A and B are shown apart, each in its own frame.
Chain A
Amino acid sequence: MKSARPWLAPLLSALFLALLVGVWYLATYQPAAEATVDSEYAALVGQAASTGAKSAMPTPGEVGAKLWEHLSDPFYDRGTNDKGIGIQLLYSIGRVLLGFGLAALVAIPLGFVIGMSPLIYKALDPFIQVLKPVSPLAWMPLALYTIKDSGISAIFVIFICSLWPMLVNTAFGVAGVRRDWLNVARTLEVSRLRTAFQVILPAAAPTIMTGMRISIGIAWLVIVAAEMLVGGTGIGYFVWNEWNNLSIANIISAILFIGLIGMALDTLLARLARAVTYRE
């Protein structure tokens, strides 16, 4: 249905946002309280503790200030363990793209083989079915133990979690290529290689892209958890480091950035998917 008022949906979105921030503001609003302890003690503890309370959730204003702080200097580098959020995001994106790219390099050719050969499909199916539902983070200790490098382990975890959706979708797409199109290639004596690249690949491309979209979504989910686990660099490390500091405002900022980048990655792949989609 085409809306006659195209501004309605964005307006509603803005309204929801305002409502959310409003509720958040009210929930975190605290009237200035008198310190219940002597000033010497008050100087040693946080604001909330000086009034006998627990430290509170940050207000929208505090988070906004933090966001602005991150946005105004995203690429600072103050040592190994303190880098700007922009740099951390770039590390995470780099890992995701590397792990995802390697997975694509393996999954798409392998998916091709599986899709074209019912025998190999049947032989590999039990492995795929068992390995597919394993949480990627479960691989982490094994990866750390065998690979002996936390950076490569994180990439391996991304690799393994990106692999399955691409593999399964590629096999499915390849197996489902219309018989007619293959017959056209056969009657035209097109070589197997050319058939693979010029008939099967474009025919299965939309299905493969669907798999890739699912994969990058999972990869982006997993990288945060993986980096929280191994630390070092990346947005997951940033979240962990700020958790260490109990800085909820920073964590909320990071959540926002994680969401935005995730959306950007998905949009990018959706664009690519549109480029290879065809109408019959």
Chain B
Amino acid sequence: MSAFRNPFDHRVRLHRSGCACGRHASQAEHDHAEALEARQLQDRVVEGAVMRALFPQDEMRRGFLRAVGAGTALAAVSTLFPLGLAKEAFAQGAGALEKTKLKVGFIPITCATPIIMAHPLGFYSKYGLDVEVVKTAGWAVIRDKALAKEYDAAHMLSPMPLAISTGTGSNPIPWTAPAVENINGQAITLAMKHKDKRDPKDWKGFKFAVPFDYSMHNYLLRYYLAEHGLDPDRDVQIRSVPPPEMVANLRADNIDGFLAPDPVNQRAVYDGVGFIHLLSKEIWDGHPCCVFSASKEFVAQNPNTYHALLKSILDATAYARKAENRKEIAAAIAPANYLNQPVTVVEQVLTGTYADGLGNVKKDPNRIDFDPFPYDSFAVWILTQMKRWGQLKGEVDYAKVAKEVFLATDAARLMKELGMPAADPARPIVVMGKTFDPKQPAAYVDSFAIKRG
């Protein structure tokens, strides 16, 4: 797969001893292993396509597999359909993109940085894709447009694919989140008049805004408030307000503060309307925020396109991770076609050298960071919070849902292909000093004093 590496890219090392991932003695051995894996993946895709053709309804397929077992099923299907031949035929056309013109929706916030910057900085075209990135008015609209297949893939809040897949707030539709776009990068901003009320215990009766009910913002704000003894449903009001309206509402005194994605926080500072009380990384350093997402249907029907698209995003994310690239990215995504914000606002968010609204210049290079790996544990944590606040009812198979939606395996494989360092699957999650064990989600939910249902 080294052929995929762009030889004109100064960041790519074409010659080195050993292989790209470091697990093999030579590049040749690495490539062989990769080819084998790729072939296995292809076979999977062909099998999947055949099974879908035989069982248009996933329910039926699962029922069939449960009843006869996977091995029997494979044998049975093989007698009906020459799977081997199909796999052969498919292998001939491996790598051909099913679709090159794509539409990807985004919300104009810095979380979407990889999706957006991949356009002006040419990451999509590098993988042979002609992607139109379309600015969208709100989360409900981006969800509806993605469900309506107007978009091939979309920028979503990380809980949204889980909500769509589990049918929370709509009919369940299998959705995937193959890459996290950003980690950290959110903040709690309060109106200027509250600049002396820095202790959350003084916030009783406040009106807060979050971008969407199914958002990390909502869960982080609730967590933060609850840890300080405030019941987020009784002691304060939390409303769902589209990001562009947040600063206007803060200015008009309709809300006291918000936990919002950037550049909204920095924009409130820029306009002298609010100050940054707390960066979200101080609640949970390394928390995911937004994801790159697509329907399972798109992933299954356009495996090559999907991989190329995912690679562009992973590649862009890796580029965005490097501090030295941040200024260039800020200049690329600030214009009206993308974020439509003053460059300095975007730059402050991305470089982490920012005005806090109280007259101080703060420096925190990790204010926002980009790490694409969709840890299952992220999904499990989100599900625990959905459960905690009553958005999910009944029994939840946390691990199963997480695995189906957050496609960690795909991401790991592609990251390896791109020569990116492997993610540490055991990376701990610590939220406000409390460690989360993804193997014990139910106990975690039970451990909270303030919760619903």
Contacts and interface: CB of A to CB of B under 8 A. Distances in A.
A–B contact (CB under 8 angstroms): yes
Interface of A: 37-38, 40-41, 43-46, 48-49, 52-55, 78-82, 141, 144-145, 148-150, 228-232, 237, 240-246
Main secondary structure of the interface of A (DSSP, over half): loop
Interface of B: 108, 132-137, 141, 144-145, 147-150, 192, 243-245, 247-248, 251, 267, 269-273, 335-338, 340-342, 344, 348, 353-355, 357, 359-361
Nearest to A48: B272
Contact of B272 (A55, A141, A232, A242): A55
B344 A53 contact: no
A240 B136 CA distance: 10
A144 B354 contact: no
A231 B340 contact: no
Given A41-B361, A78-B337, A246-B248, A53 B272 contact: yes
Given A240-B244, A245-B336, A246-B248, 16 more contacts: A44-B354, A45-B269, A45-B357, A46-B271, A49-B271, A54-B272, A80-B133, A81-B135, A82-B340, A141-B144, A232-B134, A240-B137, A243-B245, A243-B248, A244-B244, A246-B271
Nearest to A54: B272
A230 B354 CA distance: 33
A228 B245 CA distance: 12
B340 A49 contact: no
B344 A44 contact: yes
Contacts of A41: 355, 359-361
Main secondary structure of the interface of B (DSSP, over half): mixed
Contacts, number: 113
Nearest to B271: A55
A277 to B, nearest CB: 42
Given A49-B272, A145-B144, A149-B150, A78 B344 contact: no
A150 B141 contact: yes
Contacts of B269: 44-45, 49
A141 B361 CA distance: 44
A148 B337 contact: no
Contacts of B357: 45, 49
A231 B135 CA distance: 7
Contacts of B348: 44
A52 B272 contact: yes
Contacts of B344: 43-44
Given A44-B344, A48-B271, A240-B244, A230 B137 contact: yes
Contact of B336 (A38, A82, A150): A82
